[in-house]
């Protein structure tokens, strides 16, 4: 698997993790819809880190000559 493809998958996975934790209350898996809990904060942060790492891999990819 190329670095670009791995980066895209990591970035996409990070977006999905981020969206899941941000929308947890709307999806019915959150405990208290009135607040953004600490589990949601940690999960959203992990998703953001995965997204940024994937984006960095995509940007570091250098196309092959020829």
Backbone angles phi, psi at 51, to 5 degrees: -65, -45
- Angle, to 10 degrees, between the axis of helix 3-22 and the axis of helix 38-60? 160
Q: Are 59 and 6 in contact (CB under 8 A)?
A: no
Is pLDDT at 63 greater than 80 in this prediction?
no
Q: Are 40 and 30 in contact (CB under 8 A)?
A: yes
The pLDDT, as a whole number, for residue 47 is: 97
Mean pLDDT, rounded, of the chain? 91
Is pLDDT at 51 greater than 70 in this prediction?
yes
Q: What value does the mean pLDDT take over residues 38-62?
A: 93
Confidence of residue 2 (pLDDT cuts 50, 70, 90): confident
How many CA atoms lie less than 13 Å away from 62 in the CB half-sphere? 2
Confidence of residue 15 (pLDDT cuts 50, 70, 90): very high
């Amino acid at each position: 698997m190329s670095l670009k493809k791995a980066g895209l998958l990591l970035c996409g996975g990070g977006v999905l993790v981020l969206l899941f934790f941000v929308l947890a209350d709307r999806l019915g898996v959150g405990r208290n819809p009135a607040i953004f809990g600490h589990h949601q904060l940690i999960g959203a942060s992990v998703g953001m880190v995965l997204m940024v790492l994937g984006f960095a891999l995509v940007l570091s990819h250098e196309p092959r000559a020829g």
